[in-house]
Structure formats: structure tokens, C-alpha cells
Amino acid sequence: MGGGMEDVRPDGSGSGREQGDALLGFEELGSELGGTAPRPGSPLPRFRPSLSLQRTRFATEAADGSTITVDVNHTSQQASMYRNGRHVSTAEMPARFAVGHDRVEVSATRYGMQRIHLVHADGGQRRLDPAPGTPEHWRGRLSRRHPRVGRSLAVCAVIVLAANLVLLAPQLLETVSHSAIWARHAAPLNSPIALPAWANTALALTSALAGVERALTFRHNRLLDVDTDVVDA
């Protein structure tokens, strides 16, 4: 996660409710397309699966029984928290939203969610549940209904990222070794692997798909996912 999380306190969830309802159509469209953040107190817009490449949504029950929903906009890199269907606050990711004595921590990469947890005051934590219609919900349902298919996808993602690491890392290291900064301290390196451009492109595409698969299932390894982490940075 790059940089520190932004702390956000709940503010005025009941203010402007009537105005928010009156302008729901315009506000919902604007926030979904990443143009504007919802206003405090505005109602939670319906989730549109057609925009699932741009956004996702998670929910959980807080200690006081209220429903906490976090709507994530990957395009604007913002997360919005709603309590019982009403907007509380919006912040750039990574972010923390206060929920009483607890907090919700949200962070994402360009491939998907990295963290979406409710952290209790005693240190305990649990991941929020993906809302129906979201890519994460679809992927979880696939694993439950077809566990063999789910495991196969997970294994394929690991194989792709491992192969990508072995094949592309030497070539990237060779490129870096020809920079002026490297040349002042050491001789340039020659990669033992030289793939044609189309093969490197194919590797990059399959690596991106593998990164999405692992993000949808909340899997991450510092070594295995180093390539997707570098691209995201």
C-alpha cells in the first residue's frame, strides 16, 4: 500500500437528505462515472453490474447492528462509506473510516481490492462481504458452486505469475543495467532470455489477468505478485 491511510470521521449523515433524494438521478450518475463524490446523507445508489470494471461494493454489520456499506470507485481511487443506506463520507484510498470504536480499512490496486476489513478496537478484524453483482461476489460463488474450477483458476494464476517472474525479470534487469546510474557502479548485464515482442506482450496480458484473479480472491504474496505490484506503482 502506497502512503498512509487517510482517517475519516463520520460527518452529518442526516444533513441534506431531502436534497439528496431530489437530485438522486443526477448524483447517482455522476458518482458512478467518477465525476463527483456523494453528498453526506445521500442514499446508496443501486449497484450496476455493467460498471463492475470501474467499481465494486462490500458490506457488513457493525457492533451497533447498523449496516456498513463501502462503495469503491477504482477509476477515481475513492471509497465511500454508507451507514444504513446513507452516505457518511468519501476518501481517497487507502483510507480508514471510523465506525464507533472500530474502523473500516480500505485499499486497492489497479487489479482490484487489496484490503477491505472491519477492524475492532480489540484488534480483531474481518473482511467485508462482497455485494451481489460485484466481481468478487461472482468469483466467490464460482468457487462455492464449482470448487474444482475455482482451484484450477487459482493454480493457473500462480503458474502464470511464476513464469512471468522467471522470464521477464532477467530482461527487465538487463534494461535497468543499461541506465546511466547503473553504469557508474557496475557493468551492464546481459539477459540469458530474449523473447520476441509478441511473447512479452502475451506474458504481460496473462500476468494482468492473473493479477485480477488473485485480487478477486484476496490472495497476495510479496514475491509472487511483485510484477503486478511494480506495474501498479
Domain ranges of the chain: 6-133, 146-232
Residue 12, pLDDT score: 40
Rounded alpha-carbon distances, angstroms, from residue 34 to 82, 131, 145: 17, 19, 34
Contacts of residue 67, defined as CB under 8 A and 6 or more positions apart, other chains included, come to 59, 60, 61, 83, 84, 85
The string over 190-202, giving b where at least 16 C-beta atoms fall within 10 Å of a residue's C-beta and e elsewhere, is ebeeeeeeeeeee
Residue 29, pLDDT score: 45
Helix (H) or strand (E) holding 83: strand 78-83
Which neighbouring-strand residues pair with 61? 67
pTM: 0.71
Residue 177, pLDDT score: 75
Residue 142, pLDDT score: 94
Question: Which among 141, 90, 140, 95 is positioned nearest to 114, based on CA atoms?
Answer: 95
Residue 20, pLDDT score: 39
C-alpha cell read off for 138: 461472482
Question: Which among 196, 177, 8, 154 is positioned nearest to 95, based on CA atoms?
Answer: 8
DSSP code at position 43: B
Is residue 90 within 8 Å of 78, Cβ to Cβ?
A: yes
How many whole angstroms separate alpha carbon 137 and alpha carbon 207?
A: 22
Averages of pLDDT over runs of 10 residues in the chain (233 residues) are: 50 41 44 65 88 89 93 91 94 92 89 90 92 92 94 93 82 75 74 79 88 87 64 51
DSSP code at position 220: -
Residue 15, pLDDT score: 41
Q: Is the peptide bond before 188 cis (omega within 30 degrees of 0)?
A: no
Residue 26, pLDDT score: 40
